[in-house]
Amino acid sequence: MNFYFSEEQNRLREAVAAYAKIAGADPQRDVEERDSEFSWDVLSALGEKGWTGVIVPEEYGGMGKGAMEYTIIMEETAKELVYGPQNLIQAQQGLLAVGTEEQKRKWLPELAKGKIMAAQAISEPDAGSSFQNIQTTAVKDGNEWVLNGLKVHINLGKEAQLMMVLAKTDKGLTEFLVDKDSKGIRYEKQDPIGLRSAPMYDVYFEDCRIPADTVLGREGRGIETFMAIFKLSRLGVASQLIGIARGCLDHAVSFTKSRKVGENRVSDFQGIQWIIAKLTSELEAAKLARNQAAWLHDQKVNHNLETSIAKYLAGVVADETVNKAFTLTGSHACYRNRPYDRYVREVKSLLAGGGSSEVMLNNVAREILRPSYHY
């Protein structure tokens, strides 16, 4: 395995970083954060550059790249607290993994260009990682399915033209492709602490009728479909956490190098240096774990273990970094017009995305306790 980016990947990283720095400095981002509004201009710009279709094959209008390029885009945008195409990638991965040719041709071109948004509707009031508690139902009625139920914590639910909904049928949990224009969908906007530029909704399905051919994958095999999506998308969340940790650490370290205490700078003190060294070491470890999992995905090798480790390590270092930033900067971090407040809120929200740290540890334990596993 090569732990270094190729020249092409480095050019992509530099281009995304340059764009994200400009987009992140736009005062409109502050308005979106305050009011919890989506950055449609960012989506349009990402689409024009092709980055919203990074994993989509060229025949469907995408870049035809892999997980490594996807994680680059997610990390560099998150570093500047700018929307990255996570929701789109999740939908694209589901369609590519188990969608029919008709479903791919209907949805992938517009998703790849960033012309429409997508959302995942899985969580319910009593069902997060515990899928057996899902209560949303889909009942076959002639050549239609009838959806009823409530989904919660749905980022970009109302903005999404396409929603992937996990529901129970007679054969078990099944994933459905639901068009926003379907009748019987109602949204209630929520007020989350983080990820506010990806507005969150509770979504009600009330006798919502959708065509019979909207099943994604096979009826009753919704867990397989879910895993086909989230094995990759967890790398996106890990990359967001890594990007935020990088951005936060950059700000905090710059402060320690410029702030004087008597004849010394804050960065001259060994206690401060140890914090910086420890966070940097943990951040590099998380990046290497993420890169390994992305590389395995692109080699079409099973990466359940590696992805769970990457997401866990990214969460640990991001959480520690946003907390230690207050140690490094003291009271100077305790103002709303500085980025540390948002770094904390974004990390706390992302820690639950794609499965909490505890769920990741469960996944790791399950993999290494298999009879076939060897250290």
Whether 135 and 81 map to the same domain: the answer is no
Whether 105 and 165 map to the same domain: the answer is no
Which residue, of 218, 247, 270, is where some domain finishes? 218
Q: Answer whether residue 29 is part of any domain.
A: yes
Q: Which residues contact 73 (CB under 8 A, 6 or more apart)?
A: 12, 16, 46, 51, 54, 84, 85
Whether 42 and 110 map to the same domain: the answer is yes
> Quick check: 372 pLDDT over 90?
no
In this predicted model, what pLDDT tens digit does every residue of 158-213 receive, in sequence order? Answer: 999 999 999 999 999 999 999 999 999 999 999 999 999 999 999 999 999 999 99
Which residue, of 67, 92, 116, is where some domain finishes? 116
> Quick check: 350 pLDDT over 70?
yes
Question: How many structural domains are present in the chain?
Answer: 3
Q: Which residues contact 187 (CB under 8 A, 6 or more apart)?
A: 157, 158, 201, 202, 203, 204
Phi/psi at 112 (5° precision): -65, -35
Pair 156, 198: CB distance under 8 Å: yes
Q: Which residues contact 118 (CB under 8 A, 6 or more apart)?
A: 87, 88, 90, 91, 92, 107, 111, 156, 160, 161, 162, 163, 164
> Quick check: 1 pLDDT over 90?
no
Q: Answer whether residue 374 is part of any domain.
A: no
> Quick check: 3 pLDDT over 80?
no
Q: What is the pLDDT of residue 310?
A: 97
The CATH code of the domain that includes 14 is 1.10.540.10
The CATH code of the domain that includes 127 is 2.40.110.10
Whether 227 and 357 map to the same domain: the answer is yes
Q: What is the pLDDT of residue 374?
A: 82
Q: Answer whether residue 312 is part of any domain.
A: yes
Whether 104 and 151 map to the same domain: the answer is no
Whether 242 and 346 map to the same domain: the answer is yes
In this predicted model, what pLDDT tens digit does every residue of 97-125 receive, in sequence order? Answer: 999 999 999 999 999 999 999 999 999 99
Name the residue range of residue 102's domain: 7-116
Which residue, of 86, 116, 146, is where some domain finishes? 116
Q: Answer whether residue 277 is part of any domain.
A: yes
Q: Answer whether residue 357 is part of any domain.
A: yes
Q: Answer whether residue 316 is part of any domain.
A: yes
Whether 237 and 356 map to the same domain: the answer is yes
Print burial letters for 163-197: b (CB count within 10 Å at least 16), e (below 16): bbbbbbbeeebbbbbbebeeeebeeeeeebebbbb
Q: What is the pLDDT of residue 277?
A: 98
Model pTM?
0.96
Confidence of residue 361 (pLDDT cuts 50, 70, 90): very high
Q: Which residues contact 106 (CB under 8 A, 6 or more apart)?
A: none
Pair 161, 117: CB distance under 8 Å: yes
Whether 200 and 104 map to the same domain: the answer is no
Q: What is the pLDDT of residue 128?
A: 72
In this predicted model, what pLDDT tens digit does every residue of 290-315 receive, in sequence order? Answer: 999 999 999 999 999 999 999 999 99
Q: How far apart are CA 31 and CA 196, in angstroms?
A: 10
Whether 47 and 128 map to the same domain: the answer is no
The CATH code of the domain that includes 293 is 1.20.140.10
Residues 61-76, mean pLDDT to the nearest whole number: 98
Token digits for 192?
């989350």
In this predicted model, what pLDDT tens digit does every residue of 238-284 receive, in sequence order? Answer: 999 999 999 999 999 999 999 998 889 999 999 999 999 999 999 99
Q: How far apart are CA 339 and CA 29, in angstroms?
A: 12
Whether 276 and 331 map to the same domain: the answer is yes
Pair 90, 55: CB distance under 8 Å: no
Whether 199 and 236 map to the same domain: the answer is no
> Quick check: 82 pLDDT over 90?
yes
In this predicted model, what pLDDT tens digit does every residue of 17-68 receive, in sequence order? Answer: 999 999 999 999 999 999 999 999 999 999 999 999 999 999 999 999 999 9
Whether 230 and 214 map to the same domain: the answer is no
Q: Answer whether residue 2 is part of any domain.
A: no
Q: How far apart are CA 235 and CA 86, in angstroms?
A: 10
Q: What is the pLDDT of residue 131?
A: 82
